[in-house]
A and B are shown apart, each in its own frame.
Chain A
C-alpha cells in the first residue's frame, strides 16, 4: 500500500470522514426507526449532524476537581479507538483498509476503548451522578464484554482464522446466523449492551442519574463521545453482518443487511423495559455466557 492512497483511505474514504458521515446517518436511521415504531415522526435526516456541529461549537465547561488531561483526553481516545477499529472492518462492503492475522481481537479491544473511556470519564468527575454512572458503565462492561467477544469469535472458530477478511470471505458462502443462531443472538444483544441502548441503558438512565458518566460533559467532549458511539454502532453492525449474515460483498448487500439488523435492534429497544444494573449483570452471566459456551461447544463438535 503506497502512502498517499493509504492516508486518503484512512482520513477520507472509506474511513475517517466517510465513516463519520455514514455513522451519523445510521444514528439517524436508528432514531427515525424507533420513532416510527412508536408512532412518532422522529428527527429529520440532518439532526445528528446538527447536534454534533452544535456541540462541537459549544463552550466546554470544565467542572471543578477533574483531571484536565483526562477530561479532554478520554473523549479523544474513545473516538480514536472507534475510528481505528474502522480500518480493519469491511466498511460499506469494501475490503478493509488494513488487515493482518488476528485483527478481529484488536478490533474488539479497540471497540471497548469507548466504553472504558466513558467509565473513566465518569470516575474522573466529582459529580455524584457521573460516579454512579461510571460504576454502572464499568459493571456493565464486565458483564457483556466476555459473552460478546466469545460470540464474535464463534465465526472465527468456524472459519479457522482470526482475520476479519478471511472470516468474512468464508462467511459469504455460509449464513452463520443459521448455523450458529445462539452466537448471533448474543452478538446482537451484546452490541446493544455495548452501545448502552435500551434496555441496557441503566448507566445513563435519565430518570435516575441524569446522563450517567457524561453528566458533566457539555461541549466538545460530549460531541466526541456521541460520535464515538455512532461510529461504534456502524462498525458493530458491519461486523455482525460480515461475520454472521453471509458477508458483505458489495455496498448494496451491505446496506440491506445492516439496515435489517438495525431494524431488529430498534425493535428490541422498543419492546423492552430498562433493566436494573443487577438484572443486566444477572442476565449476561446467567444466560449470555452460557448460551455462547453452548454455541462454542456445538461449533467445535460439529466441525
Chain B
C-alpha cells in the first residue's frame, strides 16, 4: 500500500506550534544536574597525592609539589585540555574534586584564561599566590 503525503500531520501541526529550535544565547535552558562542566576543587581534603593527574587522559591536571613536608603544593588545571570525562572526580577518593553543572560556557579569547591554579597556602614569593582561602585563583581577568 502506498500513501502520499505521509508527513502531512507533522507539517500541518507545526504551523501552529512553536519551533523546536532553541534560541540558545538569548534563551538559556537549565543544564541537567549531572552535567560535567568546569572542575572545582575543595582545599580541605586534598593531600596532593596526584592520582587525579595520573589518571587524566588529557594531561589537563598537574600537581606541583612546593614543599612535601609542609604539604605545600598547587594543582594546575588546563581547561583547554580537559575532556570533561570526570575520571579525576572518580579517582579522587578524598572528594576534593567535583564538576560544576552550572559553569560550562568556558570559551575565552586568551590562552591564559584556560589555566586555572588550585593552590593551598602558596608562598607569596613564588608569585603564585591565590585568592582568598579556598577560592581557586584563576588568571581569568
Does chain A touch chain B in the assembled complex, meaning CB atoms less than 8 Å apart?
yes
Q: Which residues of A contact B (CB under 8 A)?
A: 35-42, 267, 270-271
Which of chain A's residues has its CB closest to B23's CB?
A41
Q: Contact check: which of B7, B14, B21 meets A271 at CB < 8 Å?
A: B7
Which residues in A have their C-beta under 8 angstroms from that of B8? 271
For the complex, is B108 an interface residue (Cβ under 8 Å from A)? no
Q: With the chains together, A270 CA to B19 CA distance in Å?
A: 15
Q: With the chains together, A166 CA to B47 CA distance in Å?
A: 93
Q: Do the beta carbons of A36 and B7 come within 8 Å of each other? A: no
Q: Do the beta carbons of B20 and A40 come within 8 Å of each other? A: yes
Which residues in A have their C-beta under 8 angstroms from that of B19? 35-36, 39-42
Residues 91-109 of chain B, each 1 if its beta carbon lies under 8 Å from chain A, else 0: 0000000000000000000
Which residues in A have their C-beta under 8 angstroms from that of B7? 270-271
Q: Contact check: which of A39, A42, A271 meets B17 at CB < 8 Å?
A: A39
Q: Do the beta carbons of B11 and A267 come within 8 Å of each other? A: yes
Q: Do the beta carbons of B5 and A39 come within 8 Å of each other? A: no
B-side interface mostly: loop
For the complex, is B15 an interface residue (Cβ under 8 Å from A)? yes
Which residues in B have their C-beta under 8 angstroms from that of A271? 4-8, 11
State which residues 16-32 of B face A: CB under 8 Å: 17, 19-21, 23
Which of chain A's residues has its CB closest to B14's CB?
A39
Q: With the chains together, A286 CA to B19 CA distance in Å?
A: 39
Q: Do the beta carbons of A36 and B15 come within 8 Å of each other? A: yes
Q: How many chain B residues touch A (Cβ–Cβ < 8 Å)?
A: 14
Which residues in A have their C-beta under 8 angstroms from that of B23? 41
Kindly provide the distance from the CB of A188 to the nearest chain B CB, expressed in whole angstroms: 15
Of the A-B pairs whose beta carbons lie under 8 Å apart in the complex, a sample of 18, sorted by A's number, is: A35-B19, A36-B14, A36-B19, A37-B11, A38-B11, A38-B14, A39-B17, A39-B20, A40-B19, A40-B20, A40-B21, A41-B21, A41-B23, A267-B11, A270-B7, A271-B5, A271-B7, A271-B8
Which residues in B have their C-beta under 8 angstroms from that of A38? 11, 14
Extra pairs beyond A38-B14, A270-B7, A271-B5 (10, CB < 8 Å) = A35-B19, A36-B19, A39-B10, A39-B14, A39-B19, A40-B19, A267-B11, A271-B4, A271-B7, A271-B8
Which of chain A's residues has its CB closest to B6's CB?
A271
Q: With the chains together, A213 CA to B15 CA distance in Å?
A: 34
Q: With the chains together, A36 CA to B20 CA distance in Å?
A: 10
**9 closest A-B pairs by CB:** A37-B11, A39-B14, A41-B21, A41-B19, A271-B5, A39-B20, A270-B11, A40-B19, A40-B21
Q: With the chains together, A35 CA to B17 CA distance in Å?
A: 12
Kindly provide the distance from the CB of B7 to the nearest chain A CB, expressed in whole angstroms: 6
Which of chain B's residues has its CB closest to A267's CB?
B11
Which residues in B have their C-beta under 8 angstroms from that of A39? 10, 14, 17, 19-20
Which residues in B have their C-beta under 8 angstroms from that of A40? 19-21
Kindly provide the distance from the CB of A38 to the nearest chain B CB, expressed in whole angstroms: 7
Residues 58-74 of chain B, each 1 if its beta carbon lies under 8 Å from chain A, else 0: 00000000000000000
Q: With the chains together, A97 CA to B7 CA distance in Å?
A: 42
Q: With the chains together, A39 CA to B17 CA distance in Å?
A: 7
Q: With the chains together, A40 CA to B14 CA distance in Å?
A: 9
Q: With the chains together, A271 CA to B6 CA distance in Å?
A: 7
Which of chain A's residues has its CB closest to B20's CB?
A39
Q: With the chains together, A231 CA to B44 CA distance in Å?
A: 70
Which residues in B have their C-beta under 8 angstroms from that of A270? 7, 11
Kindly provide the distance from the CB of A42 to the nearest chain B CB, expressed in whole angstroms: 8
Q: With the chains together, A141 CA to B11 CA distance in Å?
A: 30
Q: With the chains together, A35 CA to B20 CA distance in Å?
A: 11
Which residues in A have their C-beta under 8 angstroms from that of B14? 36-39
Q: With the chains together, A142 CA to B4 CA distance in Å?
A: 26
Kindly provide the distance from the CB of B91 to the nearest chain A CB, expressed in whole angstroms: 43
Q: With the chains together, A270 CA to B15 CA distance in Å?
A: 12
Which of chain A's residues has its CB closest to B19's CB?
A41
Q: With the chains together, A38 CA to B11 CA distance in Å?
A: 6
